[in-house]
Amino acid sequence: MAEIRLAGLEKRYGAVAALRGITLTVQDGELVALLGPSGCGKTTTLQILAGFLIPDGGEVWAGDRLISSPKGAVPPERRRMSLVFQSYALWPHMTVSQNVGFGLEMRRLAREEIADRVRRILGVAGLGGYEQRYPHELSGGQQQRVALARALVVRPDTLLLDEPLSNLDAALREQMRFEIRRIHKETGITTVYVTHDQAEAMVIADRIAVVNAGQIEQVGTPQEIYETPQSRFVASFIGGANCLPARVLEPGRVRCGDLELRTMDDGRFRPGDDVVLCIRPHAVRVRGAAGGDAARDNAALGRLVQHAYLGDLQDLRIMLGNLPIRALTSGRARYRPDDQLLVELPAEACRLVRT
C-alpha cells in the first residue's frame, strides 16, 4: 500500500481548464472521496491517477514513486492500482469465481493460490456460496461486489472507484455504501472514490475533497465538511444550506436584506466585509405567527410560498421580505401557501463564509 500525493495537477482541453491546481494527499490506508457535480474535474483527476491521461502540469506520486507528470507517466498496468468503473464490466460467460480470478490467471499464479485468494476475497465481499453463478444470475448489488472482489483480489496498493454505485437503484445504493465501507475496513487498502452523491461520500469516506470547477474547495472529515463549510459552494452542495448575502456590521452581527442577525463569529471577517450567511434548513425554526415574538433576535415574520409533505418532515419555502428561506420542520404541523409564519434563525446555526 502507498500514500498518494497529487501536487498542482492541471489539465486543459483546448480553451477549457478541466483541472486548475489540484493538490491532495491520500494517506496510506485512507479512503478519500472526490465529491462534486458533473464536469467539476473529479473523473479527470481519477483518470490521471490511473494513468489514462497525462497532466499538463503538476505531479502524481505513489509513495516515493513519481508516476505522472507532463514529461511522462508510468503505464496503468505498472501502477499497482485497481480501477472499478461505473459499469461492472463482468465477463458474461464466466462464473463469479472465474471473473474474480481472471487477473490472477493473467499473472500466471499457481492454481492453488488462485483458488485460495478467490475464496478469501469472496468471503470478504459477502459472496460465499455464489462461486458458480453467472453474472445474469446475480442482483445489481451482487454484481457490483463481484467487480470489487475482482479489483481487490490482485492486492493493489491503491483502489480507484469511479461512481461505482450510479447504476443501482436507491435501496441498493444505500446498502452498498455500507458494504464498501465494511470491505475497506477489512482490507485497509488506500482508496480514492469519485462520486457526485453527498450522502454516499459521507457514509463511505474517511475524508472528503469537495471539487468545483477544477479546484478543491475544501478537504475534511464528513463532519468538518458539513458543520464548518469554508465557502458558499461547499455549504450549498453539502446539505443544501440557505446561503444569504450579508455584510458584517460588527463581530457576530450582520445585515441580511432588511434584517440584522446575530451569527457565529470565528474572527475571520471584519466590519464592512461582504460575506454569505449559511444556515441549514433543519436548523431554521418555524411556527405559526399567532403569539410569536417577531421582535426577538434573529426572528422575523415570513410568508409561506411553497411546501412539500415528506412524511416525518415538511419542506417549506418561505420569503422573509426579499430573502428566500428553506426550512425542514415536523410533518405534524399543518401549513398552507400564503400562511404568515414566524421564522427564527438561531445565532449558533448561522455561519459566515466567503462570497
Read off the CATH number of the domain in which 122 is found: 3.40.50.300
Mean pLDDT, residues 146-175 taken together: 89
Give the per-residue pLDDT at 106: 87
pLDDT tier for residue 333 given thresholds of 50, 70 and 90: confident
Residues in the chain: 355
Give the per-residue pLDDT at 293: 63
Considering the domain boundaries, does residue 173 fall inside one?
yes
Considering the domain boundaries, does residue 21 fall inside one?
yes
Range of the structural domain that residue 195 is part of:
4-227
DSSP state of 354: B
Task: Give residues with Cβ within 8 angstroms of 183, minimum separation 6.
Answer: 124, 125, 148, 152
pLDDT digits (tens, 9 = 90+) for 11-38: 999 999 999 999 999 999 999 999 999 9
Whether residues 165 and 304 fall in one domain: no
* 196-209 exposure pattern, b = at least 16 Cβ within 10 A, e = fewer: bbbebbbbbbbbbb
Task: Give residues with Cβ within 8 angstroms of 305, minimum separation 6.
Answer: 317, 318, 319, 337, 338
Mean pLDDT, residues 202-230 taken together: 95
Which residue has better confidence, 131 or 330? Answer: 131
Task: Give residues with Cβ within 8 angstroms of 136, minimum separation 6.
Answer: 92
262 by Cβ neighbours in 10 Å (0-12 / 13-18 / 19+) ranks as: middle
> Residue 1 pLDDT > 60, yes or no?
no
Residue with cell 497532466: 55
Nearest to 187 by CA among 103, 125, 113, 105: 125
Whether residues 317 and 223 fall in one domain: no
Q: Residue 43: helix, strand or coil by DSSP?
A: helix
Q: Which of 194, 227, 260 is the last residue of a domain?
A: 227
Average pLDDT score over the chain: 92
Q: Which three cell numbers stand for residue 86?
A: 461505473
Q: Best-predicted range by mean pLDDT among 82-91, 332-341, 342-351?
A: 342-351
Whether residues 8 and 105 fall in one domain: yes
Nearest to 140 by CA among 115, 174, 117: 174
Residue with cell 425554526: 285
Whether residues 253 and 334 fall in one domain: yes
pLDDT digits (tens, 9 = 90+) for 264-314: 887 889 999 999 999 999 999 998 877 566 667 899 999 999 989 888 889
**CATH assignment at residue 343:** 2.40.50.100
Least confident range of 140-149, 202-211, 285-294:
285-294
C-alpha–C-alpha distance, residues 222 and 239, integer Å? 11
Give the per-residue pLDDT at 267: 84
Give the per-residue pLDDT at 249: 96
Whether residues 264 and 190 fall in one domain: no
pLDDT tier for residue 336 given thresholds of 50, 70 and 90: confident
Whether residues 217 and 293 fall in one domain: no
What are the Cα distances from residue 292, in Å, to 201, 280, 302? 40, 22, 12
Whether residues 170 and 292 fall in one domain: no
pLDDT digits (tens, 9 = 90+) for 77-102: 999 999 998 777 899 999 999 999 99
pTM, whole model, 2 decimals? 0.88
Q: Which of 227, 249, 278 is the last residue of a domain?
A: 227
User: Which residue type is seen at 62?
Assistant: A
Judge whether 310 and 277 are in contact, CB under 8 Å.
no
Considering the domain boundaries, does residue 140 fall inside one?
yes
Judge whether 156 and 117 are in contact, CB under 8 Å.
no
Give the per-residue pLDDT at 99: 94
Whether residues 215 and 309 fall in one domain: no
pLDDT digits (tens, 9 = 90+) for 167-185: 788 888 888 899 889 989 9
Considering the domain boundaries, does residue 232 fall inside one?
no
Whether residues 201 and 302 fall in one domain: no
Q: Which of 227, 258, 288 is the last residue of a domain?
A: 227
Considering the domain boundaries, does residue 24 fall inside one?
yes
Considering the domain boundaries, does residue 234 fall inside one?
no
> Residue 45 pLDDT > 60, yes or no?
yes
Considering the domain boundaries, does residue 135 fall inside one?
yes
Nearest to 30 by CA among 183, 190, 234: 190
- Residue spans of alpha helices (H) in the chain: 42-50, 96-106, 111-124, 140-152, 170-187, 198-204, 222-227, 232-237
Give the per-residue pLDDT at 265: 81
Whether residues 100 and 159 fall in one domain: yes
pLDDT digits (tens, 9 = 90+) for 228-268: 899 999 999 998 899 999 999 999 999 998 899 999 887 88
Q: Residue 6: helix, strand or coil by DSSP?
A: strand
Whether residues 140 and 8 fall in one domain: yes
Q: Which three cell numbers stand for residue 123?
A: 468471503
| Total domains in the fold of the chain | 2
**Secondary structure of 251-307 as H, E, C letters:** CCEEEECCEEEECCCCCCCCCCCEEEEEECHHHCEEEECCCCCCCCCCEEEEEEEEE
Q: Residue 336: helix, strand or coil by DSSP?
A: coil
Considering the domain boundaries, does residue 233 fall inside one?
no
Whether residues 223 and 261 fall in one domain: no
Least confident range of 114-128, 165-179, 271-285, 333-347:
165-179
C-alpha–C-alpha distance, residues 95 and 329, integer Å? 50
Mean pLDDT, residues 48-59 taken together: 96
Task: Give residues with Cβ within 8 angstroms of 328, minimum separation 6.
Answer: 281, 282, 284, 313, 314, 315, 316
